Amino acid sequence: MSDLVLYHVDGGVGTITMNRPKARNALTFEMYDRIAEICAEPSQDGSVKALILTGAGERAFAAGTDISLFRDFSKPEDAIRYEERIEAALTKIESCPVPTIAAISGACTGGGATIAIACDLRIAAQNAVFGFPVARTLGNCLSIANYARLVAMIGAGRVIDMVLTARLTDAETAKAIGLVSEVVPDHEALMTRAAELAETVSGHAPLTMRATKEALRRLRDGRRDDEDLVTMCYMSEDFREGLEAFLAKRKPDWKGR
């Protein structure tokens, strides 16, 4: 298996590392597909409770899609198939059955930024920068799905400013506008904090988190159906366990079913 994406599990937390540090972790199709594969089923036995996504080294989370992939684009179908393939990967990240945490150092731009935005939580080192500078680089555009993700997160005004000016947003500004929830001093502190955050969410009710992720995705897509999500939670073994644990003043033993 390729070493362009590394995956290891420790104590119920899986870490996905985009591993092309000399190329600032620029993404190949193989990397998108591998990340999607892991997120679709982080473990066979349910032992993985949370995922951390990060980039190798301190210079970049991921600085977009590898530009060499665009050299052979010659017809409309090439562009459409590219966006469809990337969207399939992002959808797998969004619908991952466990919480996903993007731990971001350095450049988080283009395709790298779309991966971070598809994650549930984002934290950043002080050196992180975010953006979609396509208006001054390649002259391409984002898909409607990615514009929708961004608008849901930071609002249409900030999205159009970010794309039209092609400015990169620093970590503190990203926190102020809601792109990330926390900023820490450096890469070492980032990975420590990501591990702490993963441990926290690993101890919470899996079905509550799964229902919340899916409900927010549906709201973004203009949907309001929720009976399956309500039923999944209220009719679960975990709900009965949570109720009994609360009454007995003990910690619940969540099973995710």
Asked if 220 and 181 sit in the same domain, the reply is no
The answer to whether residue 256 sits within a structural domain is no
The reply to whether 143 falls in a domain is: yes
Instruction: Write the CB contacts of 46 (distance below 8 Å, at least 6 apart in sequence).
Output: 256
pLDDT tens column, 168-214 = 999 999 999 999 999 999 999 999 999 999 999 999 999 999 999 99
Query: Is 92:85 a contact under the CB 8 Å cutoff?
Result: no
For residues 103 and 213, membership in a common domain is answered with no
124-154 tens-digit pLDDT: 999 999 999 999 999 999 999 999 999 999 9
Asked whether residue 156 falls in the same domain as residue 175, the answer is yes
- pLDDT grade, residue 46 (50/70/90)? confident
**Average pLDDT value over all residues in the chain:** 95
Same domain, 14 and 58: yes
- Are residue 227 and residue 187 in the same domain, yes or no? no
The C-alpha atoms of residue 67 and residue 30 are separated, in whole angstroms, by 14
Name the domain count of the chain. Answer: 2
Residues 6+ away with beta carbon under 8 Å from 119? 53, 93, 100, 101, 102
pTM above 0.85, yes or no: yes
Q: What is the mean pLDDT of residues 43-57?
A: 92
Instruction: State residue 154's pLDDT score.
Output: 96
Q: Are residues 36 and 151 in the same domain?
A: yes
Residue 61 host element (H or E): strand 60-63
Instruction: Give the pLDDT of residue 54.
Output: 98
Q: Are residues 110 and 160 in the same domain?
A: yes
What whole-number distance in Å separates Cα of residue 117 and Cα of residue 159? 13
The boundaries of the domain holding residue 225 are 206-248
Q: What is the pLDDT at residue 179? A: 97
Residues 101 and 190 in one domain: yes
Residue 26's pLDDT is what? 96
The answer to whether residues 52 and 178 belong to one domain is yes
Query: Which tokens sit at 92?
Result: 């797998």
Are 46 and 152 found together in one domain?
Answer: yes
Q: Do 189 and 221 belong together in one domain?
A: no
User: Residue 23 belongs to a domain with what CATH number?
Assistant: 3.90.226.10
Residues 6+ apart with CB under 8 A from 25: 18, 19, 55, 56, 57, 60, 61, 62, 63, 112
Residue 232: what pLDDT? 97
Domain shared by 228 and 240, yes or no: yes
